[in-house]
Structure 1
Amino acid sequence: MDQLPLEGMPRRLYSCTPSRLNTWLDCPRRYRFTYMDRPAPSKGPPWAHTGVGISVHNALAGWWREPYERRTPETAAALVGRGWIGEGFRDAEQSAAWRKRAAEMTGAYAATLDPADEPVGVERTVAARTPVIALSGRVDRLDRRGAELVVVDYKTGRRPPTGDDARFSLALAVYAVASERMLRTPCRRVELHHLPTGSIVEWEHTEESLAGHLRRAEEIAVEASEADDRYRAWAGPARPAGRTGRASPEAGRTPPEVPAEIDAVFPPRTGPLCSWCDFRKHCPEGRAAAGDRDPWDGLADD
């Protein structure tokens, strides 16, 4: 059976993404279902709004890979249709309507871009280390503006982001730090581009504010890492816990039975977000806290 780290011994670096850290913050039980339990518990049906977001992100990434002469609004719209994810919609009619809507907003956004202004990176993986964590993540787009880099994140949700969303986003701050360290170029500005409205919100970080985000990431990582160690000490080598959140070949089963003392390390954090949890059917507390949602309820009003 795995042992907890000995007191006074240095801990191994906690390897993580911003998504993993935010999952721990949102709900430790969902974190356990996502990253620790193997076989991974089965998820609910796919969400239509997630498919819209992925379709648009993929189209914009593909747009920058096109030859310069094909970087047109029409190409952007066509790429949405070509890679459309039609899962989670009420019916084929709703899917078709949203495919058209997503193509139009993606084409309109592409019309605001200079096809000759080549980004430093598109869907680029960046990484950074501290004495506590090894962070990595994928940036939607990394621009060069003058002598500095700018982190660009696409948003397709129904609610336009605010300046506070950009300012307090742990993921964007981590991407800025990692981009600066990897490319040895200053990176302070982060931007959220909301395609449905065409709005852009930005935040200009300082060295101090980025350092604050890193400290917060380390604090979250220490909590999650200690919980991971408790789980692994219980699970032992016969039941290895996952590290990446990828579905195992046995995915789709019910989560393993864990003793009360381990369940207490990963308590549910209930609230309105429980309606949107992929694992709500495995969480009685979450079902009691918030009602069911149809897979298409996350879409903006038609």
Structure 2
Amino acid sequence: MDVAEAITHPAAEVREVRMSLSPSRAGDFQTCPLLYRYRTVDRLPEPPSPAAARGTLVHSVLEDLFDAPATERTLERAVAMLPGQWAELLEEEPRLAGLFTPEQAAEETAWLSSAVELLGTYFRLEDPRWLEPADRELRVDHVLESGLGLGGIVDRVDVAPDGRIRVVDYKTGRSPDPRYEDKALFQMKFYALVLWRTRGVVPTLLQLLYLADGTVLQYEPTEDDLRGVERKVQALWDAISASYERQDFQPRPSALCRWCAHTQHCPEVGGTL
């Protein structure tokens, strides 16, 4: 199979489908193959949500906070950065301005306050004055022997003086039920696999910081773990390729459907594309 090939979908024009996978798109297919199609094949637009915009805002603040001298990385400075970072996001993505009308000033103020609470939780989990990340918002890429490209963006990579690597991801939602922790860690294992294959070092620690409830989820991967992830990712791509060939992406109803932006198109609830 070539790195790129044209696939015709009955509901879309001919599109170029690349042999590439990110944790987000892999998660989409595992959650619901039809959701994968809507986002990756049909590329249907999704309206911005206050929760997603708040997540982007908090991530932006935590990324840029490390530009300040160590002694100045305080909660007060992070909170003071919020209005300016929000203004930059509005300039970069004008559609976010539709989240709040002039008459909804009180709602916007409450929304910003909720971002302050998330930052407060972050500072209870870590003290950034004692951290010097090696990388922030790091793009990582690797091509498997099969030709499948893996890629994504890591929130933060810390490297100790002895070479040990810690991979950190910020989550502005709540931590998962213990039954679903493996699903939450898949993204981190995906990043760990790419870092291992590109740097030759297995990350020592994978760390998810859940800022809505102050939970820290950690995992110490091994080479065997990451080989298993590699096999899983390849099998997942094989399943995606089969769906392309059949032009058949089946819906997979679950409790997550209530948050889906594409219910009007989903045949499970009488929608049409």
TM-score, shorter chain, exceeding 0.5:
yes
Distance (whole Å) between structure 1 residues aligned to residue 34 and residue 218 of structure 2: 33
1:127–1:137 Cα contact (<8 Å) kept: yes
Deviation at 1:142, TM superposition (A): 0.8
Q: 2:39 aligns with which of 19, 24, 34?
A: 34
Residue 213 of structure 1 corresponds to: 229
Q: How many residue pairs get matched? A: 244
Between 1:114-123 and 1:213-222, the stretch displaced more is 114-123
Deviations 1:160-193 (A, max 9, x none): 2466655442211011121233333331421111
Distance change in 2, residues 1:165/1:123 (3 Å): farther
Alignment pair present for 1:202 and 2:204: no
Paired amino acid for 2:33:
P
Distance (whole Å) between structure 1 residues aligned to residue 53 and residue 181 of structure 2: 23
Where structure 1 has 5 or more consecutive residues not aligned to the other structure, the ranges are 5-11, 231-261, 289-302
Residue 268 of structure 1 corresponds to: 251
Paired amino acid for 1:135:
L
**% identical aligned pairs:** 30
- Cα RMSD over matched residues? 2.9
Q: Secondary structure at the match of 1:187?
A: coil
Deviation at 1:143, TM superposition (A): 1.2
2:118–2:211 Cα contact (<8 Å) kept: yes
Q: Secondary structure at the match of 2:218?
A: strand
Give the structure, 1 or 2, with the largest relative contact order (CA under 8 Å, sep 6 or more).
1
Distance change in 2, residues 1:71/1:183 (3 Å): farther
Where structure 2 has 5 or more consecutive residues not aligned to the other structure, the ranges are 9-16, 87-95
Distance change in 2, residues 1:196/1:42 (3 Å): closer
Alignment pair present for 1:101 and 2:114: yes
The TM-score normalised by the length of structure 2 is 0.78
Residue 135 of structure 1 corresponds to: 150
Distance change in 2, residues 1:71/1:287 (3 Å): farther
Distance (whole Å) between structure 1 residues aligned to residue 105 and residue 7 of structure 2: 52
- Which structure has more helix as a fraction of its residues? 2
Distance change in 2, residues 1:122/1:47 (3 Å): same
Deviation at 1:116, TM superposition (A): 4.7
1:161–1:194 Cα contact (<8 Å) kept: no
Q: 1:51 aligns with which of 39, 50, 53?
A: 53
Q: 2:21 aligns with which of 16, 20, 43?
A: 16
Distance (whole Å) between structure 2 residues aligned to residue 286 and residue 206 of structure 1: 43
Deviation at 1:81, TM superposition (A): 3.0
